[in-house]
Amino acid sequence: MNATHKPEPRDQEEETVHRALEGFYSDGKPPWDTGVTPPELVALTEGPRRLPPGRVLELGCGTGTNAVHLARHGWDVTAVDLIDRAVERARAKAAEEGVAVQLLHGDATRLDELDAPGPFDLFFDLSCFCGIPLHRRDAYAAGLTRRAAPGARLLMFGYGPEPLANPTTEIASWAAGVTADELSARFTGWELLDVTPGTNSVPTFWFTLGREV
């Protein structure tokens, strides 16, 4: 932990989210933690338009499936999760696979409290941002922006209320998910490069943002 930044206490809404996430892990496998690396991330590591390996920060890494995948493909990986049980499993998975991953137990909206100074070339978020209380989302965006290398990429998966043809510009609760308009507004100095619908039974999207050079 960075000694220059004292831990900031969580408010009641954040505690509610934290307890809900802990409940998923204590009851079994969370629905977002499938154990399979999504093809959208595989395309960045193996596809014809793959990115050259660099430094990557995964937000909400769960049990480490995607962090391990990135490390296998030459990336210098730092991964963060709010739930200590998930981080323990991720550390065990990385050890079993024989890959080096810096795994941190902490809050993706309070990166200054963690040993994750950056800069990072890639950020990966599988359903983390869409579960963050609205009043903490600007802190999340600012934390990534301060750690982004010029031209950095953010690949984010999340659920949302909108069909692409009828975008919703505002959401009233974190439970409603995330929209493209919200990301464009919160991520100052970034460009929304792509929005691709997911294949889930509820509306989901893959968002790609690029840090302006």
Q: Express each pLDDT in 120-165 by its tens digit.
A: 999 999 999 988 999 999 999 999 999 999 999 999 999 887 655 5
Burial of 31 (0-12, 13-18, 19+ CB in 10 A): exposed
Q: Which has more confidence, 66 or 8?
A: 66
Per residue in 40-91, pLDDT (tens digit) is 999 999 989 899 999 999 999 999 999 999 999 999 999 999 999 999 999 9
- Is the pLDDT at 4 greater than 70? The verdict is no
- The residues that bridge with 182 in the sheet, in sequence order, are none
User: pLDDT, tens digit, for every residue of 15-37?
Assistant: 877 777 777 777 777 777 888 99
Closest C-alpha to 2, from 87, 117, 133, 142:
117
For residues 180, 147, 18, 163, the Cα torsion angle rounded to the nearest 10 degrees is 10
pTM: 0.88
Average pLDDT over the chain, rounded to an integer: 88
Helix (H) or strand (E) holding 45: helix 39-45
